[in-house]
Chain A
Amino acid sequence: MITIPYLTALTTYFSYGLLFAFGQLRDFFRKIFDWWRSSNLQGYAPICLGLEDFYIRRLYLRIQDCFGRPISSAPDAWIDVVERYSNDNNKTLKRTTKSSRCLNLGSYNYLGFAASDEYCTPRVIESLKRFSPSTCSSRVDGGTTTLHNELEACVASFVGKPAAIVFGMGYATNSAILPVLIGKGGLIISDSLNHNSIVNGARGSGATIRVFQHNTPAHLEKVLREQIAEGQPRTHRPWKKIIVVVEGIYSMEGVLCELPEIVAVCKKYKAYIYLDEAHSIGAIGKTGRGVCELLGVDTTDVDVMMGTFTKSFGSCGGYIAGSEELIQYLKYTCPAHLYATSISPPAAQQIISAIKVILGEDGSSRGAQKLARIRENSNFFRSELQKMGFEVLGDNDSPIMPIMLYNPAKIPAFSRECLKHKIAVVVVAFPATPLLLARARICISASHTKEDLLKALEVFSEVGDLVGIKYFPAEPKKPQQERGVIKED
């Protein structure tokens, strides 16, 4: 749980208040200005009324250059960030032809498959020549190739379930599957910090939605008991079914889900579990099989396992793994399977090759090395940042580490200063996080070397002092023997 220091909360509120006041003042002048000029809407209602896009116009546009930075190379450990300039105070940004080489601490490249890989890329190019970049049809029409069937078998055996079904986009997987599994008369209980795709899928299903406190099995039990006893709202009929939706690693906090306790609660009250392993599949666990392996949960206890291939496998798409009947039913009725173009064959080949490398089936031990390296890198980086005095969230072994910034002015300050020192970081503000809790999110990769991490730590220490985000007291440094070696405890 994040506890914000009192003084920081006050200053953050004050900053936002000031920004809000200035924004309103500018809006006022804009209204007067527009009163002189006639509007060109010709009787149509405006796309955004009044305060709907106030945040975008007056707050976000000021720091727009910190988001959406284009790169001109693969999203690997080192990237070429394209420089942009603006002539109208950040409202529009234009690209230049110059780029600067920066260390990449923001891409979801956990196992280092983002760039061209010696095992995967030749096979991907071969499958591209054989199957062409797209099948131009949905899976049931003419979009199923032998590659798709092989991919589904491969994914099912990797995750540890009898069968799997693959889609071309992770977001659409959640949005299209939840309405199939549950409808009106059912109940979805989801964690309060679940991803937007789950929220969208839940809304699209028409079922009633209840939220339980983030990662708290005790509160989940309380909500379940209450809801089963009360039944459906107003009619009090018993619920048709209850699905509990949790994520493996929460991407904005870096915390692991308390899966064993939640599975125990759901078994006791006969609710179904839907686990979204978007960030955890391939990145955690001894052989990369995700949060079930790490926490020792049997995969037969989880009813529906979902994941994406964008993060650890360097490709695109999402999957659902479950029992044979579940997958058969989904193949019969899921809209994303029946209507959407099937996943691109080269992307499918990339996933198969990546899984083979992780399992060591390509004949080398690169997979095991990558998994060991990402664990070491994450734990080292997190402990060093905490020693320096930063407020870092997340559990041990998780490759995502958010560093708290809080104040709105520190968001662009941190981002731009790091870029000057050739480090590309990702900063997250409202609406992806609560208003007061802005943060910078670091994603560690297996392709980061020790030198890269040490350089990053140096830069962070310097920038942290300049911007003032070392909210905790730093630990005193132990005497060093050689340069570059820091004794770990």
Chain B
Amino acid sequence: MASAVAKMLNDTLDWITLALDVPSARAVIFGVQIGGHLFVEALLLVAILFLLSQKSYKPPKRPLTEKEIDDLCDEWVPEPLIPTIAKDMQYEPPAFESAAGPHAIVNGKEVINFASANYLGLIGHEKLLDSCISALEKYGVGSCGPRAFIGTIDVHLDCEARIANFLGTPDSILYSYGLSTMFSAIPAFCKKGDVIVADEGVHWSIQNGLHLSRSTVAYFKHNDMDSLRSTLDKVTAGNKRAKKLRRYIVVEAVYQNSGQIAPLDEIIRLKKYRFRVLLDESNSVGVLGCTGRGLTEQFGVPVEKIDIITAAMGHALATEGGFCTGSSRVNDHQRLSGSGYLFSASLPPYLASAAITAIDILEENPSLIRKLKENIALLWKGLSDIPGLSLASNPKSPIVFLRLKKPTGCARNDLQLLEDIAAYVLKEGSICVVASKRSTLDKCRLPMGIRLFVSAAHSESDLRKACETLWRAAARILEENTK
């Protein structure tokens, strides 16, 4: 039995050796000797390839059935449209019963008004009212259409020419709302991929414009030129493609959120990095410079060096709306890409004629600007040693900003203290001041404070009374708080 198995084994071995010794198995192809083992390897290779080509196991995809979608829709519970109203959300501002001039009537009482940005005291001016009345009788109130569709009235064109003439630029373009000026101008010039360097204290309208433009934005510390320089270095170090990339610096002349003034001469020196400058002059046109032409006049910078100047006219010029000015290329481009210009009705004609009259009055009476400067200096002197509050704005700015010397650390408590001071001052001294309010959408993190808008129409006694009452209020409320 064993010998038969051994014989069979030997026979099969002889067979295999014979098969592997076949002349074809001993062929030499391309100098490689093909032994019989290569057939086995070829078979293995085929087996491996077959296994690899098999699809790996994936669970089959099953789309949701209609019933499942119905269940999901039934289960879903949306959040309420607005959060629940807390007590501090129910703030009611004082209702004025007369024009918002330096003396106004609130709740039947006469108050000294520091809450309106009426810097040159043009509210209630005879000439302004006359020009408005004649415009109302001729044109009605509204303009009933966007600029491209029978909404362009000759006063608009006259107003644009007048503003450009006043500031020394070739042309300007008029917007119907101050807030929409910046958030239409920025997306018209800055597109995706461009680089913008902006101050962290710019107001909401500029922030919204930066967000809508989808460009890369880098913020630098508020009004800090070293921070600006280092940010510019950082941003230009990364990008060498200067030819196609548009770059902008966005600053405000007088910051609405803090009363600081931007040092324009240093910013102009930084233009060597090839950045265009976008300047918002809402609070400085009609205020800074010896004839009121704004920050460029104050620092002696020729206006051609600033590429784009925007401003809201609801401050010194005592009218509504806004304008944007620059080279003629800048203006023409905005007429077809500024969304607030193209898709919205134009400024009511009586407001445009009010703007023209306001500029005329300003040019004829440069003494208004001098009076405003004196008033600011007086107020500064009177408020310089107030207990618990410190002056945080620039001495030349028409917005006088008072900040808490020792903030409590919680923003809500700070705001409550400031509002208490404002309420006390209104009740006891009939002075109307405002504690700064901030929207939940605002990304600015500068500390809040009390704002006083100084006007050229305020008299010395008004200012002195304001200082005294604020002194008393701060002493009373802040002392109470520290106890």
Contact = CB atoms under 8 A, between A and B. Distances in A.
Contacts of B242: 43, 45
Interface residues of B, number: 112
A195 B343 CA distance: 8
B140 A133 contact: no
Given A133-B351, A170-B345, 15 more contacts: A56-B336, A106-B145, A113-B140, A121-B137, A132-B123, A140-B437, A142-B115, A143-B116, A144-B93, A181-B82, A204-B208, A240-B78, A272-B78, A303-B81, A350-B142
A168 interface: yes
B49 interface: no
A239 B79 CA distance: 9
Interface string A368-396: 00000000000000000000000000000
A228 B73 contact: yes
Interface stretch (B127-135, B222-230, B287-295, B408-416): B127-135
Nearest to A337: B439
B401 interface: no
Contact of A171 (B94, B97, B116, B180): B180
Nearest to B99: A132
Contacts of A104: 150
Interface in A470-488: none
A171 B343 contact: yes
Contact of B76 (A115, A270, A350): A270
Interface string A147-179: 011000000000000000000111110011001
Nearest to B104: A142
Given A137-B116, A170-B344, A329 B143 contact: no
Contact of B140 (A108, A121, A326, A328): A121
B340 interface: yes
B329 interface: yes
B144 A203 contact: no
Interface in B272-327: 274, 276, 312, 314-315, 318-320
A75 B144 contact: yes
Interface in A76-113: 76, 79, 82, 95, 104, 106-109, 113
Contacts of A325: 82, 85
A346 B129 CA distance: 11
A69 B346 CA distance: 13
B353 to A, nearest CB: 9
Interface centre among A142, A175, A333 (most CB of B within 10 A): A142
Interface string A289-317: 00000000000000110001111011110
A309 B442 CA distance: 28
Interface string A258-291: 0000000000011110000000000000000000
B136 interface: yes
A151 B470 CA distance: 34
Contacts of B466: none
A109 B141 CA distance: 12
A75 B348 CA distance: 11
A133 B247 CA distance: 38
Contact of B179 (A76, A131, A238, A339): A339
Given A43-B242, A107-B151, A133-B354, A238 B76 contact: yes
B149 interface: yes
B136 A125 contact: yes
Contacts of A315: 141-142, 348
Given A125-B136, A132-B123, A107 B144 contact: yes
Contacts of A120: 141
Contact of B93 (A72, A75, A139): A139
B330 interface: yes
B57 interface: no
Contacts of A192: none
Interface string A316-343: 1000000001101101111110111100
Contact of B157 (A79, A95, A109): A95
A45 B344 contact: no
B205 interface: yes
Given A69-B152, A128-B129, A181-B82, A133 B246 contact: no
Given A114-B140, A133-B320, A136-B117, A344 B351 contact: yes
A323 B340 CA distance: 29
B78 A242 contact: yes
B144 A332 contact: no
B424 interface: no
A426 B151 CA distance: 11
A96 B157 CA distance: 13
The 6 closest A-B pairs by CB, nearest first: A142-B115, A341-B314, A169-B177, A171-B344, A340-B179, A132-B99
Interface stretch (A9-17, A28-36, A47-55): A47-55
Interface in A457-471: none
